[in-house]
């Protein structure tokens, strides 16, 4: 049967540019919530995600390390027999470039295997989906073939659940 515990993934390490982010400890509290201690370099940002079946993963909180340690209590774990946790790096729309024939190339940086939805807007109010893809090798590149017919375009990268 299911374990009455909270736990992190077997290898909860993320290494980026020599910096290591990790879930150091996960323990069940007497009220059945889960208390997590995460470590990482000051200023680094990540998202703590939770799942009971490894799919889907839900964002529990945004983590910004002020020092080398960050704590979080997952009150939602009270209603669960178990929950898995992982840290995911945020996606960043890192660069764009104009190409011949009025096309635009976009580059999104993020964690390996992260599913990303890139959206486009002309007014920052109404957004349309440009495309969805999985980040491979830490980067995702997309072409916007519709950029030629628009006077201005704004882009955003959205983490998919």
Question: Nearest 5 degrees, angle CA 106-CA 108-CA 113?
Answer: 135
Tokens of 42: 């000051």
- What is the per-residue pLDDT across 3-31, written as a single tens digit (0 to 9) for each? 344 444 434 445 555 567 889 889 999 99
* Res 14: pLDDT: 53
* Res 142: pLDDT: 83
* Res 158: pLDDT: 79
CA 115 from centroid of its chain's CA atoms: 9
Bridge partner residues of 21 (DSSP): 14
* Res 10: pLDDT: 38
Tell me how far apart the alpha carbons of residues 105 and 93 are, in angstroms, rounded to a whole number: 11
* Res 19: pLDDT: 61
Tell me how far apart the alpha carbons of residues 106 and 65 are, in angstroms, rounded to a whole number: 28
Percent helix, percent strand, percent coil in the chain, to nearest 5:
5, 60, 35
Q: Which residues of the chain have pLDDT under 70?
A: 1-19, 161
Q: Let me know: does 83 contact 51? Beta carbons within 8 Å.
A: yes
């Amino acid at each position: 049967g299911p374990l009455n515990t909270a736990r992190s993934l077997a290898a909860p390490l993320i290494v980026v540019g020599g910096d290591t982010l990790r879930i150091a400890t996960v323990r069940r509290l007497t009220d059945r919530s889960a208390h997590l201690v995460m470590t990482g370099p000051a200023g680094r940002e990540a998202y703590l995600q939770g799942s009971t079946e490894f799919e889907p993963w839900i964002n529990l909180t945004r983590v910004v390390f002020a020092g080398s340690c960050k704590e979080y209590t997952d009150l939602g774990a009270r209603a669960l027999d178990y929950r898995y946790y992982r840290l995911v790096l945020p996606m960043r729309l890192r660069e764009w470039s104009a190409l011949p024939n009025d096309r635009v190339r976009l580059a999104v940086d993020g964690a390996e295997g992260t599913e990303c939805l890139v959206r486009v807007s002309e007014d920052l109010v109404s957004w349309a989906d440009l495309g969805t893809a999985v980040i491979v090798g830490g980067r995702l590149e997309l072409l916007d073939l519709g950029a030629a017919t628009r006077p201005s375009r704004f882009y955003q990268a959205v983490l998919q659940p």
